[in-house]
Amino acid sequence: MQNRDSLYIEGAWRAPSSDAVIEVENPATEELLATVPAGTAADVDRAVAAAQAAFPSWSRTSVGERAEVLRRVRDGLAKRQDEIAETISTEMGCPLRIATKIQAALPQTVVGAYADLIESYEFDERVGNTIVAREPAGVVGAITPWNYPLHQITCKLAPALAAGCTVVLKPSEVAPMVAYLLFDVLHEAGLPAGVVNLVPGYGTEVGEALAGHPGIDAVSFTGSVRAGSRVAEVAARSITRVTLELGGKSANVLLPDADVATAVKVGVANAFLNGGQTCTAWTRMLVHDDQYDEAVELAASIASGYTPGDPLDPSTKLGPMVSAAQRERVRGFIRTGVAEGARLVTGGAEQPEGIERGYYVSPTVLADVAPDSTVAQQEIFGPVLSVLRYSDEEQALQIANNSDYGLAGAVWSADQDRALAFARRVRTGSIDVNGGRYNPLAPFGGYKRSGIGREMGTSGLEEFLEVKAIQV
């Protein structure tokens, strides 16, 4: 993997204002992969100025023109799918099988979906004697995380471009390399100069400068609650609109008549997807007294099949944590869980057997977890599943809603109407009934501390539109 020494500003690769660099590490080997520039506030100023200059002409392009550009980007991503998957697998540890199927493929679907969506979307509607016009919001500042480093960019970039906005992107400093591949694709797609701009850097420098920049009209952020709160605080000084996609502590509720074997198998896979480094992970499994022991035994058996290994090996299901700090954070939660009374069923905080280097954590199942305990309340972001017991459906609902978060979740029942009725009472932005399939056209976002606003689909597009009433 080669070093990158430039920023993408005003349609070209340009020298940064500082010689400082960010070192990108391979979490599976602990070796240096590459370096990228550590951008500065001055670089943000340049990028925002370029985006402002490009906005008037880009915002006036036709829907057809923008859709065509998006389709060129989608096709460019498809041509580089294998390279993208390998890059993500190498820089943040996602197993190649998942990196190919989800990390590299889903962004193509997202970009293509917005090309199709805007061709049927009504940007103008008539309400009595008023034309309600939906217009591009302006210059968008996008700040994205490391766990799905391309998907989370396209969830912001695609609707922003579709709406007619221009964009300045700060990718995660932990996994920035795939953003460079994306901008290679964007350059080849022929976007006008200044429409898209890339400034890698640290949150304390580039993130703060971007969120608080008076030339930014909308900020879209994905990451931790702590960082999201800071973004909102800084953006508020300029009264800049903010979309926040933050953490989760999702409940997977097995009602007493559920197919336990299927629900547990799918639930463990969901909780351990991407090494558990997924904001929507169903990390709390709620099981009725009568099925509890069976579910715990099944979960432990299934978890034991997630042997940590080389993420580039196609057979690996569980890669490393993204960094040493993340590994220690996850191990600390496991220790805390046991100290607070949880029963360690499988896994644990020790180094996985047979692994001498890399930031690995054993797949861990904790049983007899108390609803108010640390591991039931805080987002761990690792391969740790907490199993909680309930006695009746009302208690299950109370436990499911006993969280500061409300991002995702699941409910299982032999009676779909019963499951749907339960799902409607869970305070969460999305919830799957009996393993309902992910829909990239549906709105995505959370209640409570899981965020503000929505991504994906029509709702995601409208985060980047302003509404104007024209009386005639």
Residue 375: other Cβ atoms inside 10 A: 23
Which candidate, 437, 399, 32, 148, places its Cα nearest to that of 252?
Answer: 399
Domains of the chain: 7-246+450-471 (3.40.605.10), 251-439 (3.40.309.10)
Tokens representing residue 307 in the block: 């042997």
208 with 130: CB under 8 angstroms?
A: no
Within 10 Å of residue 438's Cβ, how many Cβ atoms? 11
Confirm if 237 and 272 have CB atoms less than 8 A apart.
Answer: no
pLDDT at 35: 98
- Given 10, 25, 173, 245, which residue is catalytic? 245
Q: Output the tens digit of pLDDT for each of the chain's 472 residues.
A: 899 999 999 999 999 999 999 999 999 999 999 999 999 999 999 999 999 999 999 999 999 999 999 999 999 999 999 999 999 999 999 999 999 999 999 999 999 999 999 999 999 999 999 999 999 999 999 999 999 999 999 999 999 999 999 999 999 999 999 999 999 999 999 999 999 999 999 999 999 999 999 999 999 999 999 999 999 999 999 999 999 999 999 999 999 999 999 999 999 999 999 999 999 999 999 999 999 999 999 999 999 999 999 999 999 999 999 999 999 999 999 999 999 999 999 999 999 999 999 999 999 999 999 999 999 999 999 999 999 999 999 999 999 999 999 999 999 999 999 999 999 999 999 999 999 999 989 999 999 999 999 999 999 999 999 999 999 9
Q: How far apart are CA 152 and CA 102, in angstroms?
A: 12
The token pair at 180 is 């460079």
Write the DSSP symbol of residue 291: G
Catalytic residue among 173, 205, 279, 463: 279
* CA–CA distance, 260 with 266 (Å, rounded to integer): 10
Residue 377 main-chain phi, psi, to 5 deg: -110, -35
- Known catalytic membership, residue 245: yes
Instruction: Find out whether 100 and 81 touch, Cβ atoms under 8 Å.
Output: yes
Kindly report the length of the chain. Answer: 472
Letter for the amino acid at 54? A
**What SS3 class is residue 365?**
strand
Which H helix or E strand runs over 131?
strand 130-136
Q: Do residues 282 and 408 lie in contact, with contact meaning Cβ atoms separated by under 8 Å?
A: yes
Collapsing DSSP to helix, strand or coil, 309 comes out as coil
Strand partners, 285: 252, 387
Q: What is the pLDDT of residue 243?
A: 98
Q: In the numeric block, which tokens belong to residue 99? A: 């990196």
Strands 21-26 and 12-14: unpaired
